[in-house]
Amino acid sequence: MPIHPILRYPHPVLKKVCRRVEIIDTTIQNLVADLLDTMQAGPGSVGVAAPQIGVTLRACVVDVSANRQGKENNHGRLCMINPEIIAREGAAIMREGCMSVPDYTGDVERSTKITVRFSEPDGALREIAASGFEAVAIQHEMDHLDGILFLDRIVSIKTGLFRRKSYA
């Protein structure tokens, strides 16, 4: 499947609330495959959401297993269609970055544990409990589906936004 260019802020699609996927068919399965290929091609990427490639549907992928912060605690490759957080717990501030905002990182407060329900590309309903870095990555990608960027969640615009020194 093709690797897509990532839309960059302030592209208007990044601020749109995405539509629910009504039918999981080959078009949606191909979208998920494109998201996976695009994520794997991105430098240090642990997730991509459909609006980042210009598609306003509720689909995203996350895989933190190759990242040092997620190696020990992950569910592998997650392909999530219509994801919903059904429970959350705790809070912590972590530094986040985004391929759609490549020049900056920022301190964002997120839940430390979440339970998320979603459909997989084969239509199966799945529910997982995620914690730590994986929970943060899932919340970050799900925010994209609601037109929210990490910039919108920075704890302090004065002290919590940083110019990125390198991208890897």
**CATH fold of 12-163:** Peptide Deformylase (3.90.45)
Look-up of token digits 């749109």: 16
Q: Which 3 state secondary structure label does DSSP give 110?
A: strand
pLDDT band at 28 (very low <50, low <70, confident <90, very high): very high
- Domains of the chain, residue spans: 12-163
Q: Please list the active-site residues.
A: 141
What pLDDT, in 10s, does the model give residues 118-165?
999 999 999 999 999 999 999 999 999 999 999 999 999 899 999 987
126 closest CA partner among 138, 134, 115, 117: 117
Burial, 156: exposed, middle or buried (Cβ in 10 Å; 0-12, 13-18, 19+)? exposed
pTM: 0.96
